[in-house]
Each structure stands twice: as structure tokens, then as C-alpha cells.
């Protein structure tokens, strides 16, 4: 199975247009787009997304996925019903946006337990999240999507994180889909090759390679980015970044090629923010940085 390559759109937020980014992608022969959420997305009119889809398709690109960019749908874990309702309304709209742009998959990270809340909040939040996610699966089916996605994260306060948590979340969703195949869509992971788990003292519990490998049989897509030895910062793959980062693209290519994916068309999306946003001396370098990283991942996954 061939791994396709794409780009998540977070990097342009507030500084470049989608047209600019789509032109760059077309020039670099990167066909697949993951639409990253932005503040206006949840209230924009439908026609905006019809236009966005046309902009992509007129350049030979496809918006295949939509995914949050700011952890903004995490209200399921707060214990506040108002935050829970806000997260649900946002997720409902994100599903609609995904359908409008022609995406197959729409998703988010599940959410976070506040550090000052008791540990029991995690189990309660998990139950709330999975209840809503099952309902969202039904809405996704109505909208014609192929699946909904969740992203395992890099700390125990943002489940699922450990292989056991990840498998438990997906197992519950798979059981619901198996019992209701006509009215639900499958739930998958959007994994990330830079996500590993360190404990409170910075000791590695699960490496990024371990977690990516554990996620693979449950994932339909993944994020490509570089990171440091304790997963505290993320960046791309230009020459200097490749030297200081720990992500070995060739090794991840081998893992991908040997994996038992649950879908036939897997896309890995470059997910980097690029240089500092909102500076005259940095914004102008975004294109150069994107091209360098896209060419590095193309070389590894060709």
C-alpha cells in the first residue's frame, strides 16, 4: 500500500491565504490537504467552504481531512456542562464543514483534564467524550463522511496516551460501530510520529516510535513532524532541524510499509507552524520552510 503525503493548513493562519498555500502545494506535487481549524471556521457560512473546496480542486488538490488546530473541542473533560455543550456544538459544525469541503475524515484530540482537578475527572471525562463521540459517529454517517478521528497525545492529562488507553477508546467505538453498522461510521486514530510520553520527571515512558507503532492498526492518517528527545517542541525537516531532531523519516517509512493499516488510502500530513507568526522578518520565510520539509518527506516516502 502506498502512503500518500499531504499538508495540514495550520501554518498559514493569519498570515497567508489558502490560495497561496494551495499554489505552493501544487508546485511541490503534494495533493492532499488536511484543513486545520481556525477561529472563524465554526461560524462561517457554508458558501465559504464551497469556495474553499473549489480553490483546492481547481489546482488538482483534495481536502481529504479536517482536524482541530487549537485543542478547542476539549470541553468534554472539564466537568462543566456548558463547556461540554460548547464542545459538542463545535464538533457538530466541524463535521458539517468536513462534509462541505469533501473530506473523508474529521477529528480532534479528545480533550484535557485540568491539572488542578482530581484524577477521577479523567474517567468521568472519558465516559462523557465517548458518549458524544458515538453520537457524532451517527451524525458523520448522515453527512456522508467515511470516519471520525481522534489523536493520541503526549501526556496523561490528555487521553488517550498510553497504548492501553488508545486501544480501550478505539475498542469501545469499534463495538458500537459493529452493533450499528448502518447508522455509524468507523472511528480511527490520527496518529503523530512526534508524540511520545514522558513522566513528571522527564523520563521516557513510551517513545514516539512505540506509540506510533501501537497506533498504526487503528489509524487512517497521521501527522508528520520532528521533535526533540523529550517531545517538548516540534518543528520540521530543514537541514538544521533534521540534525537536532529525533524523527528518522526513513525509519518511519519502514514502519508504515510494514504496518497493518485498517484502511487502504492512508495520508501522512506535514503539520508544522513554521517561523514565528506575525513578524515581518519571519512570516516571509514560511514558504521556504514548508518547501524544505515537504521535499524531505517526499524523499523519504517516495
**Segment 31-45, tens digit of pLDDT:** 999 999 999 999 999
Question: What confidence category does residue 129 fall into, taking pLDDT thresholds of 50, 70 and 90?
Answer: very high
Task: Report pLDDT for 259.
Answer: 87
Q: How far apart are the C-alpha atoms of 38 and 21, rounded to whole Å?
A: 15
Q: What is the pLDDT of residues 166-207, one digit of tens each?
A: 999 999 999 999 999 999 999 999 999 999 999 999 999 999
Domains of the chain and any CATH numbers? 3-301 (3.20.20.150)
On average, the pLDDT of the chain sits at: 97
Distances, alpha carbon 244 to alpha carbons 82, 238, 291, in Å: 43, 10, 19
By CB atoms closer than 10 A (0-12, 13-18, 19+), residue 158 is: buried
| Interstrand relation of 197-198 and 204-206 (parallel, antiparallel or unpaired) | antiparallel
Amino acid at each position: 500500500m502506498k502512503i500518500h503525503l499531504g499538508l495540514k493548513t495550520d501554518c498559514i493562519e493569519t498570515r497567508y491565504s489558502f490560495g497561496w498555500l494551495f499554489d505552493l502545494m501544487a508546485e511541490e506535487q503534494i495533493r492532499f490537504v488536511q484543513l486545520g481549524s481556525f477561529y472563524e471556521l465554526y461560524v462561517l457560512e457554508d458558501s465559504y467552504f464551497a469556495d474553499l473546496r473549489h480553490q483546492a480542486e481547481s489546482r488538482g488538490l483534495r481536502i481529504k481531512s479536517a482536524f482541530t488546530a487549537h485543542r478547542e473541542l476539549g470541553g468534554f473533560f472539564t466537568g462543566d456542562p456548558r463547556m461540554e455543550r460548547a464542545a459538542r456544538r463545535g464538533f457538530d459544525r466541524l463535521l458539517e464543514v468536513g462534509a462541505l469541503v469533501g473530506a473523508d475524515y474529521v477529528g480532534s484530540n479528545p480533550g484535557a483534564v485540568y491539572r488542578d482537578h482530581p484524577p477521577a475527572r479523567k474517567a468521568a471525562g472519558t465516559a462523557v467524550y465517548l458518549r458524544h463521540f458515538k453520537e457524532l459517529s451517527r451524525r458523520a454517517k448522515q453527512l456522508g463522511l467515511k470516519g471520525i478521528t481522534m489523536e493520541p497525545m503526549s501526556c496523561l492529562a490528555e487521553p488517550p496516551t498510553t497504548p492501553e488507553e488508545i486501544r480501550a477508546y478505539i475498542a469501545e467505538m469499534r463495538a458500537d460501530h459493529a452493533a450499528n453498522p448502518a447508522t455509524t461510521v468507523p472511528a480511527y486514530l490520527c496518529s503523530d510520529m512526534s508524540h511520545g510520553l514522558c513522566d513528571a520527571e522527564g523520563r521516557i515512558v513510551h517513545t514516539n516510535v512505540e506509540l506510533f507503532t501501537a497506533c498504526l492498526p487503528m489509524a487512517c492518517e497521521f501527522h508528520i513532524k520532528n521533535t526533540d528527545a523529550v517531545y517538548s517542541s516540534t518543528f520540521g525537516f530543514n537541514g538544521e532541524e533534521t540534525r537536532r531532531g529525533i524523527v528518522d523519516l526513513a525509519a518511519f517509512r519502514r514502519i508504515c510499509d510494514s504496518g497493518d493499516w485498517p484502511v487502504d488510502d492512508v495520508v501522512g500530513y506535514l503539520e508544522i507552524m513554521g517561523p514565528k507568526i506575525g513578524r515581518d522578518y519571519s512570516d516571509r520565510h514560511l514558504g521556504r520552510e514548508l518547501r524544505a520539509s515537504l521535499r524531505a518527506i517526499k524523499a523519504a516516502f517516495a
